[in-house]
Amino acid sequence: MDKKVSIRMSGLGGQGVVTAAHIIGSAANKDGKFSTVNPFFGAEKRLAPAESYVRISEEKIYERGEILFPDVIMIFHPHVITLGKCYTMPFYEGLQENGIIIINSDEPLEFKQEDIEKFKSMNATLYHIPATRLGVEIGGTELATNMSMIGSLLGVYPLISVESLKESLAERFGGGKFIASGTTAALDDALKGKYEQLAQLIEKNMEVIEKSSEQVRKYTFGQEG
């Protein structure tokens, strides 16, 4: 169970938690690593708790299901923490030593002293990012929240390459490999209209990802910045 990075993403239905995991896992796979991705949700409805899990390893991965002992926790919505819309309580349950937590919120959330003590005892590093705001500002839609979250992960833990990420995005949204070969690909006229739209979508998403990777901030808990 070593040499493996486990990422647990908790969010609300409709935020793109499943898609974000898909894109990260697919990119890791393209980087030549082993990866598995799976979601967990109840009845599918917007704003209901939804989680997804990404495992990335140098070796073949057998373990299935929820990630109970993550190295990275990504919280896509403050309600996961404040309203307990989460399959794990508290939201950081199971986090491994030296783990990372990234939280989407416009302002840093207030934590109880006992939580802060717990973070310190685990040597966890917490980050916050206004992912939904950045999604709207740069991507033009709150549906880009997940892209911003992917960016924040890259900003603090670059475990996938930007090239593979771009390729995964194209595959996920293009429904085909034709765009993966990039702008130099010779495309027939029939696909041209779609290509332009798709290229724009990829570019916008990449912009959200890149800018978000610079906007992610560390929680200081009143200590040095």
Partner 1 sequence: MITQKIVDPEKIYDPSEKESLFITGSEAVKEALRRANVDMAIAYPITPQSESMHLAGDLFAEGYIKEYFRGENEFAVMSSVAGAAMAGVRVFTATGGPGTLRAFELFPTWAGARLPIVCSFMTRGINSPLTIQPDTIEMACLLDSGIIMLHAETAQDLYDMILRAFMIAEKTDVHIPVGVFCDGFFVTHTRDTVEVAPAEMKLPPYDAYSSPVPAMDMENAPFRHMRDPFVMKSNFISYATHASWQQEVMAACERSRKYIQQYLGSLIETEHPDSEILIISSGTAISQGREAMKSARAMGLDVGLVKIKSIRPFPEEEIRLLARNAKHIIVPEFNRTGWMAREIKSVIEDTTKVIAGPRVFGGMTMPPESILDEIRRCSK
Applying CB under 8 A, does 132 fall inside the site for partner 1? no
Q: Which of 86, 88, 87 is nearest to 77 (CA)?
A: 86
Q: Quick one: 105 or 164, whose CB is closer to partner 1? A: 164
Applying CB under 8 A, does 173 fall inside the site for partner 1? no
Q: Quick one: 40 or 157, whose CB is closer to partner 1? A: 40
Minimum CB distance to partner 1, residue 201 (Å): 21
Burial 32-68 (b: 16+ CB within 10 A, else e): ebebbbbebeeeeeeeebbbbbbbbbeeeeeeeeebe
Minimum CB distance to partner 1, residue 34 (Å): 7
| Both tokens assigned to 118 | 């717990």
**Among residues 10, 19, 26, 215, the one that binds partner 1 under rule CB under 8 A:** 26
Tell which positions 27-56 bind partner 1, by CB under 8 A: 29, 34-40, 42-43
Q: Quick one: 43 or 222, whose CB is closer to partner 1? A: 43
Tell which positions 55-84 bind partner 1, by CB under 8 A: 61-66, 68-69
**Among residues 11, 13, 16, 25, the one that binds partner 1 under rule CB under 8 A:** 25
Applying CB under 8 A, does 1 fall inside the site for partner 1? yes
Please return the burial class of 150, using the count of CB atoms within 10 Å of its CB with bins 0-12, 13-18 and 19+.
buried
Q: Quick one: 64 or 112, whose CB is closer to partner 1? A: 64
Minimum CB distance to partner 1, residue 74 (Å): 17
Q: Quick one: 5 or 216, whose CB is closer to partner 1? A: 5
Applying CB under 8 A, does 89 fall inside the site for partner 1? no
Applying CB under 8 A, does 10 fall inside the site for partner 1? no
Minimum CB distance to partner 1, residue 116 (Å): 27
| Residues 122, 123, 124, 126, CA torsion sign | positive
| Both tokens assigned to 101 | 């937590």
Q: Quick one: 63 or 207, whose CB is closer to partner 1? A: 63
The contact set with partner 1 (CB under 8 A) reads 1, 22, 25-26, 29, 34-40, 42-43, 61-66, 68-69
